Structure 1
Amino acid sequence: MSDTSIHLHKSKTSNNHVEIEELIRDEEQVRVRHWYDAFIRLFYWYPTDIYSPRERKFLIKLDLCLLIYTCVSYFTKALDKANITNAYVSGMEEDIKFYGDDLSYAKSLYSAGYIVSMAIGTLLVTQKWSRFLLPTFELIWGVLTFCGAAATKPQHIFCLRFLIGFCEGIAFPSSVFIIGSWFTRDEVFRRVMVFSVSSSLGGMFSGYLQSAAYENLSGTRGLAGWKWGFIIDGIFTVPVAIFGLLMFPGPLQAKSQKDTKPIWWMTKDEYEIAVERQVRSGIDGARQYDLKILKKTILHWPVHFFATFWVLLNIVALPDGTVMPLWLKYEAKVHNRFTVSQINNYPTLQSVVGVVAQFFLAGLSDSFPIYPFLAFTQICFIIAYASLAAWNIAWGWKWVCMLAIGLDTVNQAIVSGWINRVCRHDSRERAFVIGYSDAVSQAMNIWTNIVFYPTSHAPEFRLGLIISTIAAFLMLVLPIVEVYLTKRDTKKYVEKKERELVERISVGSEEKGAAL
């Protein structure tokens, strides 16, 4: 190669290195000009100055088909998960002799089934046919929810909770992975926020539905009100599963995958737009697993960091759905303060807090760094849980602390988008990290529910609240480690892309020289 060729080669390499660094910088940044644009983006998702008409039309259609299904599906999951506590405080405890720590055991069995299913979902979600996986499992858990109305003894509930947990286990990791494969950096947090909000709404409406069933359907056709709660939840779930079988697109496959076709409602042009966005944003599309990738993933830091973080997240979330309902039931029994309807309805205020907090904190994570929002949430938990651990506090402050428990959904929304962001360059790592992290946390939940929040210790749960306070503190400081590790990985990624460009330029120069 001549000196002139070498000089040109170096010049091109230098220019391309700058281009790569700019690309990485662009990926890390978001498309807002002023700080107040971030608040506008919470409501205005398809600005004409950012999206072309083609891309805008595609995004609207994608949100209508993909996002709506995942949200409604997750809503039914939350509905069918929360209904056991609502049934418990509405008469199931006395009707089927569901005494002692049976409620804690049932929740732990749910977690056990969840773990087994999650392993399946993590490995299969990258398959081309995986779009049928979630709707099929949802159809099954909807039928099992109906069966809760037929329970006559604790063993029936134990079996059903394990099976429902098994079917619901794939819902979260599959949905978060699939959302992350279609949407870019400055789109994904808002979508995950809406997805997570649907869970809060599910938990909230579970209380309202159980209250309505108790008041209006008790005794109808010889069934107790709490049994009608299970029937109504099943009626919500099954049609949603059928909708998913027809409309859910599944994950966006990698550009290199052969014989990949869009779902029936997506045109070829729209599918090409999706692939262009995928490549532009550095998102690796769904691909097959192999042992080499699994080994690489297990040895890479994100799987261990986020598994640890998710365990802490779930420990912080343990009081949700347990502490407030059982406190209200205790107050009703001992002091005759609340009715059955109030016991079902008042905990839904936690979901209201969660919905509002997710909308602003998780929604703004598309535009700002996530750590301030995570930090604010953990500080609230530390204050609230430390106060509840003391227990003998002012009545009004106790209510504030109880409502603050609803902030746990903010953690889930932000961390879900965070994983998609950090692991965007390898779809198989991303799927594994999402599934493995949630699986490990659910494995911990099998015993943490029983040890830290046993029903027999209601309503104070002093040990559990102390442990949850410590977990919130650890979540406050751990992100510092991630900042360093992500910067190191970004540097390696830039160097890798530069090497690839050098090789392509060298090959191109040699071919051009041979032709001359």
Structure 2
Amino acid sequence: MTPVPEKDTAQMSTETAGDEYSGGEQAKKTSFMDSLKESLRWYETGMSKSEKLLLFKLDAMILTFTCLSSFSLSLDLQNVNNAYVSGMKEDLHLGGNDLNMLTIVNQIPYCVFMIPGTMLMTRVRPSLLMPTCETLWGIFTLLNAFANDLNTMYAYRFLVGFFGAISYTGSIFIIGSWYRKPEMSRRLGLYAVANPLGSMFSGYLQTAAYDGLNGVRGLAGWRWLFIICSVITFPVALYGFIAIPDTPATSRSLLLTKAEIEMSRQRIGTGGTPRRNRLSFGIVKQAFSGWKWYLFVASWAFLDQSEQRLSTSMSLYLKYYSNEFSVPQINNLPTVTNAISVVTTLAASWYTDKTRNPFLPATLAAGMYCITAYILVAWNVPQGAKFFAWFMGGSILVLQSLLMTWASILTIEDLEQRAFLTGSMNCLGNAIKTGTNIVVFPASQAPRFKRGYIWTAITGTLQLIFLVLIKLMTVWDAKKGEQAAVIHGLPVAEIAVDEKTNEEETGSSSLEKL
């Protein structure tokens, strides 16, 4: 095995000082061409061939599965909206707020099982748990195609949400377990774009199903959409049983050598074994005693509230004016929003990895969203301005990868805290969205959702405020760490290692001592 070169204390201290996740400032200045070359580099400078091969294999295993899983889940969740505007409403005699209720029935189990499901991944092998859940939600997606009444559809949507609950935060957990800080944002960015790609592809699939399969074997085009989505889901689940390497500390992957697993443990620090606590209320108590849980969960909740207008409001607007727009246009035009999300997320994630500065792209994305929100609040603007607002509002999805990256890195050395924090973010954000969706965006109020647009303008503004608070708290934490280092006469990086060693020897953390 080729060992990973150890960095000397001075280098570690410099790296920490330049880490924006921890509130530091990037001090190194380079020329424009050097910066451009560095920004296009996938592997970090000075990385050995064996480490590059390891990263290549991890990307092929982890990123391939998680991105495909997110893509297939997005298809299986989004397809009900496309089916609704493509004939399901008429065939099942739906109306009023039935579409909202289908979303709520799907989201309730998705939210309830998310935190316990993510915590379960610290005890049950993810390589068994995640693909099994994916197989089951694929089965119930398939059964949606044969539902003949609303109640049956409710039952199947409930089960799709239940078994799909672990997918998002489980993938975040796996990615956060194998990659170092300078590598994580790009990977989470690629993972994040799989969701809007799935939503976008769902529109194209529905168009193809409507045009090419409508009436084939006596099935309407919207029913074929559910069949196609399930056919995409099953191979992804099968691949997961092979590809997911669990965590570095517990991996038994047949695709990685023992030397590569050991190298992974060295790369992520602390011997590759993040602190492992007994599952108890103490984990919750520890999370609630710091600022990270409150600010990140609130910020994610604002993101989910803001995101509500991206999913259905434009589709229902186009459906309302169906005499002006064809069924293919109703399905395809909203996909431009997803395309904007993909481009902006990739750019922001790449920038964040290279500069260690998630704050700048996050605030730019939130600022753009606020502008688009204010346009829709005004409403009495040209149709082109409305389309601009719907399309560019997709920039807010940049925060999915940036907030998860930020939260994962700040809790990278504690499996349970990382699982609880990221699980809480997605769970509570979706739970609040489920409760407010029918209030602020009832389908019966299409095409103008005055209440909803005002609400999302408020949450977008609050998002900006909370991003500033997170930034200030990371700076504050960094300064506390520097002061502790000065007191002990050690660099910041060394004092962190010293404190970690002390915790392992005594069996208690500094928080527990307090």
- On the 8 A contact 1:112/1:446 being kept in 2, the answer is yes
For residues 402 and 298 of structure 2, the distance between their equivalents in structure 1, rounded to whole angstroms, comes to 15
Q: What percent of counterpart residues are identical?
A: 33
Match of 1:100 among 96, 109, 112: 96
For residues 191 and 108 of structure 2, the distance between their equivalents in structure 1, rounded to whole angstroms, comes to 24
Match of 1:121 among 110, 117, 122: 117
Call closer, same or farther: CA 1:443–1:452 in 2, change over 3 Å: same
In structure 2, runs of 5+ residues without a counterpart are 1-7, 486-493, 503-514
Give how far 1:122 is off: 2.2
1:367 matched to which residue of 2? 354
- On the 8 A contact 1:181/1:283 being kept in 2, the answer is no
Question: 2:460 aligned with 1:468, yes or no?
Answer: no
* TM-score under structure 2 length normalisation: 0.88
Give how far 1:261 is off: 4.3
1:225 matched to which residue of 2? 221
1:343 matched to which residue of 2? 330
Call closer, same or farther: CA 1:440–1:60 in 2, change over 3 Å: same
- On the 8 A contact 1:42/1:190 being kept in 2, the answer is no
Question: 2:131 aligned with 1:135, yes or no?
Answer: yes
For residue 345 of structure 1, what is the amino acid of its counterpart? Answer: N
Give how far 1:150 is off: 0.8
- Equivalent residue runs for 1:91-490 within 5 Å: 91-127=87-123, 129-253=125-249, 260-279=250-269, 284=274, 288-332=278-322, 336-368=323-355, 369-490=357-478
- On the 8 A contact 1:126/1:288 being kept in 2, the answer is no
Range 392-401 or range 139-148, more displaced: 392-401
For residues 38 and 83 of structure 2, the distance between their equivalents in structure 1, rounded to whole angstroms, comes to 40
Give how far 1:290 is off: 3.7
Give how far 1:87 is off: 0.1
* TM-score under structure 1 length normalisation: 0.87
- On the 8 A contact 2:299/2:467 being kept in 1, the answer is no
Call closer, same or farther: CA 1:38–1:84 in 2, change over 3 Å: farther
Call closer, same or farther: CA 1:20–1:45 in 2, change over 3 Å: closer
- On the 8 A contact 1:184/1:281 being kept in 2, the answer is no
Call closer, same or farther: CA 1:379–1:17 in 2, change over 3 Å: same
- On the 8 A contact 2:265/2:271 being kept in 1, the answer is no
For residue 351 of structure 1, what is the amino acid of its counterpart? Answer: N
Call closer, same or farther: CA 1:79–1:39 in 2, change over 3 Å: farther
**1:318 partner SS:** helix
Residues 106-133 of structure 1 deviation map (CA, whole Å, 9 limit, x = unaligned): 1111110111220222211222512211
Residues paired across the two proteins, number: 480
Give how far 1:326 is off: 0.6
**1:354 partner SS:** helix
2:43 matched to which residue of 1? 46
Q: Which runs of 4+ in 1 moved over 4 A?
A: 16-23, 26-43, 280-283, 285-288, 491-494, 499-505
For residues 209 and 313 of structure 1, the distance between their equivalents in structure 2, rounded to whole angstroms, comes to 27
Call closer, same or farther: CA 1:261–1:84 in 2, change over 3 Å: closer
For residue 294 of structure 1, what is the amino acid of its counterpart? Answer: V
Call closer, same or farther: CA 1:486–1:284 in 2, change over 3 Å: farther
For residue 194 of structure 1, what is the amino acid of its counterpart? Answer: L
For residues 42 and 499 of structure 2, the distance between their equivalents in structure 1, rounded to whole angstroms, comes to 39
Range 493-502 or range 153-162, more displaced: 493-502
- On the 8 A contact 1:185/1:281 being kept in 2, the answer is no
Give how far 1:252 is off: 2.8
For residues 38 and 291 of structure 1, the distance between their equivalents in structure 2, rounded to whole angstroms, comes to 46
Call closer, same or farther: CA 1:36–1:449 in 2, change over 3 Å: farther
For residues 10 and 479 of structure 2, the distance between their equivalents in structure 1, rounded to whole angstroms, comes to 13
In structure 1, runs of 5+ residues without a counterpart are 1-15, 254-259, 506-516
Residues 279-319 of structure 1 deviation map (CA, whole Å, 9 limit, x = unaligned): 17999366653443332122221111111111100011001
2:17 matched to which residue of 1? 25
**1:99 partner SS:** coil
For residues 199 and 32 of structure 1, the distance between their equivalents in structure 2, rounded to whole angstroms, comes to 35
Range 442-451 or range 280-289, more displaced: 280-289
- On the 8 A contact 1:136/1:241 being kept in 2, the answer is yes
Supply the RMSD in Å over aligned alpha carbons. 2.6
Call closer, same or farther: CA 1:43–1:73 in 2, change over 3 Å: farther
1:82 matched to which residue of 2? 78
Range 32-41 or range 371-380, more displaced: 32-41
- On the 8 A contact 1:80/1:233 being kept in 2, the answer is yes
**2:248 partner SS:** coil
